[in-house]
Amino acid sequence: MELQGKRIAVTGAFGALGAALVQAATAAGARVAAIDRAPVPNGFAAVAAIGNVDLADTSAAKTAIDAAAKALGGLDGLVNIAGTFRWETLADGSADTWDLLYRVNLRTAVAASKAAIPHLVASGAGRIVNISAAGSIKAGAGMGAYAASKSGVARLTEALAEELKDHGVTVNAILPSTIDTAANRADMPKADFTRWVMPAQLSDVIVFLLSDRASAVTGALLPVMGRV
C-alpha cells in the first residue's frame, strides 16, 4: 500500500474533498488525523478527529497540529485543504471579502504549515500538499479575491519548497478546476457535472504526492482539471 504506516494530518477534513482524501489515504495504509473548523461529524473514521479549530489562528493551529502529531506518534505529511469560496465583483462586493478569503484560504495553510514544520523535518521524509485552484492562474470576473488568495497558496508552496528543500520535506500544490461536490451541483444545476474533477481523482493525486514515489517532486503546481 502506497502510504503504509505514514502519519498524515488533513485540514478541512470534514468537507467534500477532505473527507474523500481521509478515506483514500486510510485505504492506502496511512494513519490520519483530521482537523477542521466544523464539529466532528458522527462516526467520522480517522485515528484522530479534531473539530472546532480555526486554523487561521496561529496558536489554535499549533495546538491542533501538535495534538495530531501526538495522536499519530509524529507526522510525515500535512494536507492543507481548509478553504472556502466567494464570487463577487469589486463594484458590488466588499473589500472585507478579500480579507476573509486571505484568512480562510491562505492564512490557514500558513499557520498549519508553520506548526507542522518541526514534525515534518523530524520525519526525515516530510510532505506538504496544498490546495490552490485553477482560477489562481487567471482570474475571471468576480474571482479576484478568491484567485488572489489561491495565488497566495501557490506562492507559499514555491517559497516553502525552497526553504525545506534541504530538510527532507517536499511542498507541492494541486490546482483543481470545479470539483464535483454536492454544493457545486446545487449552485450550478445546469452545468455538465461530468466535466468536473471528482474528489476521488484529486485524492489519487494527493496520495501520490504524499508517497515515497514522489520524493523528487517539490515546488510543483499541478493542475488537476477533469475536462473543464
Nearer to ligand NAP, 131 or 214 (CB): 131
Of 14-22, 26-34, 115-123, 220-228, the segment contacting ligand NAP by CB under 6 A is 14-22
Half-sphere exposure of 165 (CA within 13 A, CB side): 11
Cα separations (Å) of 57 from 18, 104, 107, 147? 20, 10, 8, 22
Least separation in angstroms between residue 112's CB and ligand NAP is 8
Segment near ligand NAP (CB under 6 A); pick from 34-42, 92-100, 185-193, 211-219 = 34-42
The residue within the footprint of ligand NAP, chosen from 23, 54, 62, 205 (CB under 6 A), is: 54
Is 136 a residue that touches ligand NAP (CB under 6 A)?
A: no
Asked if 172 touches ligand NAP (CB under 6 A), the answer is no
Among 6, 31, 37, 127, binds ligand NAP (CB under 6 A): 37
Residue 82 lies near ligand NAP (rule: CB under 6 A): yes
Catalytic residues: 146
**Contact set with ligand NAP (CB under 6 A):** 11-12, 14-18, 36-38, 53-56, 81-85, 104-105, 108, 131, 133, 176, 178-179, 181, 184
